[in-house]
Chains A and B, each alone.
Chain A
């Protein structure tokens, strides 16, 4: 089981790189991205079991320890890659791949399509945001008007507690990187 743990750890690494490279391919990218941390976890379980048995039976613990370390090392980047296309990061990916989505009213304000919901997948274009865009579109009590978000990556904005005049400029270009 210790050797099996090492093999699963290598497979987790391969899945991670495969998920990274095929992230724009529907189903395959998702399968590989989410499969990598699951494989690493399976390898950790196998390595832990092998370590437990080896210690109990007085056998060498080299292979189980190597498998454990390999899978733990694989798990961290695999989790990052998987969570990149997870709940929060799906909207980030969609925003970069289709910056035009960000030009509508925010869904939080107008109750429109959530960037976390279906249709905003990084694998394809989402629904067009409802409503007009541009300055002065936000609700009356929302303070400063909401212009369209700037191009990605955004220009330097100073510190986070800066006054609201650091809000995105209407004239900012919106070209995809």
Chain B
């Protein structure tokens, strides 16, 4: 594991290329390519789909950055300090991305439910790539453990190297689970596509995966409650699981009540 892929040099300027950044870029490309291919196979307008993905990605990035600036502004009391320090907050992504996707689908006459369902195998695949970036970068690490799959980070720039103990490779656990989810959704019959059922099933399964993986995490910066028994992400995982199950029940009832109209 190495948080640094390489150091680019142009003249006297040096720029470190980090593993996390590279893997996150790979993840975005993987999600976009798989979704576009699925949309083309399903007979959707490829150009409009690409435009919708681009708009959603841009709005998600902007939302993440704006939320980061807002949080830092509140924390430091200085808007300039918040803007000068680059950073992103993950929860800003859905706040910006979901309305943008809705707007794009309305404007470009794309069926949003169908597009989202088609993108379901791509999202866990890309997420798995992102988690590999965490593994390489040494963040999101596990509890100290001396088992057969334990990893010890020694790179001075890896947060998991402090202290350099054998640990659960939690990013690998999550990455493996996400790849299994991606395979299952890619191979599963496309029955129900367009009604949001695949999205709901993915949300429920990912929520469950996250709750389980969090029990092996060892980094405390993610926020702990009840004396360290529950993490922020576990609470969110339970909420996502509940939302996914509720969505499955709702879409099932709609299906039983009558022929569903694609969203």
Contacts and interface: CB of A to CB of B under 8 A. Distances in A.
Do A and B originate from a single complex? yes
Contacts of A30: 83-84, 86
Given A45-B51, A161-B152, A90 B16 contact: no
Interface in B60-89: 61-62, 65, 72, 75-76, 81-88
Given A88-B18, A164-B164, A55 B47 contact: yes
Given A45-B55, A162-B152, A86 B50 contact: no
Interface stretch (B19-27, B205-213, B231-239, B245-253): B19-27
A90 B139 CA distance: 13
B51 A164 contact: no
Contacts of B154: 154, 157, 160, 162, 166-168
Contacts of B55: 41, 45
Interface in B8-35: 8, 10, 13-18, 20-22, 24-25, 28-29
A114 B47 contact: no
A86 B54 contact: no
B243 interface: no
Contacts of A88: 3, 18, 20-21, 137, 139
Interface residues of B, number: 66
Contact of A161 (B3, B21, B87, B166): B166
B20 A51 contact: no
Contacts of A83: 18, 20-21, 24-25
Contacts of B15: 20, 23, 81, 84
Nearest to B58: A41
A26 interface: yes
B176 interface: no
A86 B21 contact: yes
B79 to A, nearest CB: 12
A167 B165 CA distance: 10
Contacts of A44: 50-51, 53-54
Nearest to B29: A76
B20 A52 contact: no
B88 A86 contact: yes
B84 A51 contact: no
A21 B15 CA distance: 9
Contacts of A33: 86
Contact of A90 (B3, B57, B86): B86
B4 interface: yes
B48 A52 contact: yes
B50 A51 contact: yes
Contacts of A50: 47
A108 B85 contact: no
Contact of B155 (A115, A118, A154): A154
Interface string A1-30: 000000000000000000011011011001
A164 to B, nearest CB: 6
B220 A116 contact: no
Nearest to A118: B85
Contacts of A23: 13, 15
Contacts of B164: 144, 164, 166-167
B118 interface: no
A177 B165 CA distance: 28
Nearest to B68: A87
Contacts of A63: none
B193 interface: no
Among A75, A85, A87, A91, max chain B CB count under 10 A is at: A87
A52 B85 contact: no
A29 to B, nearest CB: 9
Q: Which 5 A-B pairs have the closest CB atoms?
A: A149-B156, A48-B51, A52-B47, A83-B21, A51-B47
11 contacts: A26-B84, A45-B58, A47-B50, A56-B45, A85-B86, A86-B87, A88-B20, A89-B18, A92-B3, A95-B157, A118-B85
Interface of B: 1, 3-4, 8, 10, 13-18, 20-22, 24-25, 28-29, 45-55, 57-58, 61-62, 65, 72, 75-76, 81-88, 108, 137, 139, 144, 150-157, 159, 162-166, 219-221
